[in-house]
Structure 1
Amino acid sequence: MHPTPPWTDPAGLLTLPGGATVRGRRVAAPAAPADFALLLARGPEPAWPVRRIRWPDFWLPLDRADALDALREARRRAYAGQRVEVACYGGVGRTGTALAALAVLDGLDPGPAVAWVRAHYHPRAVETPWQRRWLRGVH
């Protein structure tokens, strides 16, 4: 098996608290290749493997169990050395919430995870109060 090549573009890269790197982006933005995409909005599918979560803009995933399973899969893949990306329409609210959820899965409490993703990814990540509350159920 060949090792996964490193990311070729640093845009949107975020190193999780435990050390794995993931990329956040807008779903329609041109992007360097990844190994796996977790898509949180409608839009073009990249040429690499994809898993979609039904997650309306400014809201929460429609299927909590599926969303948590997909986030755990993305995290497993990232820690296995794959180039994993998370993308929604604007690349901020849902993407930021998913990245904060990955930080929670890495051991941060939800409040600090929101502050952490805002400091390291985007200052408006996790846009709504209900997205912040949703993170309390991530485990």
Structure 2
Amino acid sequence: MTTPPNDPPLPGAIELPDGSWVRGRGLRRPLPGGPAPDAGLYLGSRGLRRRHDDGLRWPHEWLDWPDFLLPRDPAEAVRRIRALHAQARAGAAVEVACGGGVGRTGTVIACLAVLAGLSPADAVTWTREHHHPRAIETPWQRRWVHRFPRKPTPP
């Protein structure tokens, strides 16, 4: 049996403006029921990774991204966010998560919304409406979304 096109592939997933889906969540909360993601992007420090990596039994990557701050390697973050968006566009069940699921996760979801066609300002508003009202918690996270490159930078 096939899933109707508008049903989320993961419980709690939200549909991006381009029709792809992503689930944003906090790692400190229990894993939602239902199927496991096909891929995940996890945002945090070594400590968060040590506490949660063993429970992530599907393909996933970690970005070194301290709480309330920005990724330590911005270029790598852009590459991985683009890759996550490509997986979602291809129909994979993807998720993004940090410790609480609000600031860093919301920042990445807003960047995915930019890749899905929204302006950065609209992406911040959209993320707060669809993911969490306090998503993108700091002014520097908001600036990072506003500077997120819509198109790949040439090599």
Identity %: 49
Query: Does 2:133 match 1:133?
Result: no
Size of the alignment, in residue pairs? 134
Residue 35 of structure 1 is matched in structure 2 by 38
Letter matched to residue 132 of structure 1: R
Pick closer, same or farther for the CA change 1:103–1:8 going to 2, 3 Å: closer
Distance 1:30 1:136 in 2: 31
Take 1:82 and 1:54, find their aligned partners in 2: how far apart are those partners?
Answer: 23
Larger Rg: 2
1:1-139 to 2 correspondences below 5 Å: 7=9, 9=11, 11=12, 13-28=13-28, 29-31=30-32, 32=34, 33-41=36-44, 42-43=48-49, 44-45=52-53, 46-139=56-149
Residue 79 of structure 2 aligns with an amino acid whose one-letter code is D
TM-superposed CA distance for 1:64, in Å, is 0.6
**Deviation string for 1:94-135 (max 9, x for gaps)?**
000000000011121111110000001100000001100011
2:41 match: secondary structure: strand
Q: Secondary structure at the match of 1:72?
A: helix
Measure how far apart 1:8 and its partner are: 5.2
Q: Specify the code of the residue in structure 1 equivalent to 2:106.
A: G
Distance 2:99 2:43 in 1: 8
Distance 1:94 1:84 in 2: 16
Question: For 1:134, what is the secondary structure of its paired residue?
Answer: helix
Instruction: Summarize the Cα distance change of 1:58–1:118 in structure 2 as closer, same or farther, 3 Å threshold.
Output: same
In the aligned structure 2, how far is the partner of 1:107 from the partner of 1:18? 7
TM-aligned CA deviation for residue 7 of structure 1: 2.9
Structure 1 unmatched runs, 5+: none
Moved over 3 A (4+): none
Q: CA RMSD in A?
A: 1.6
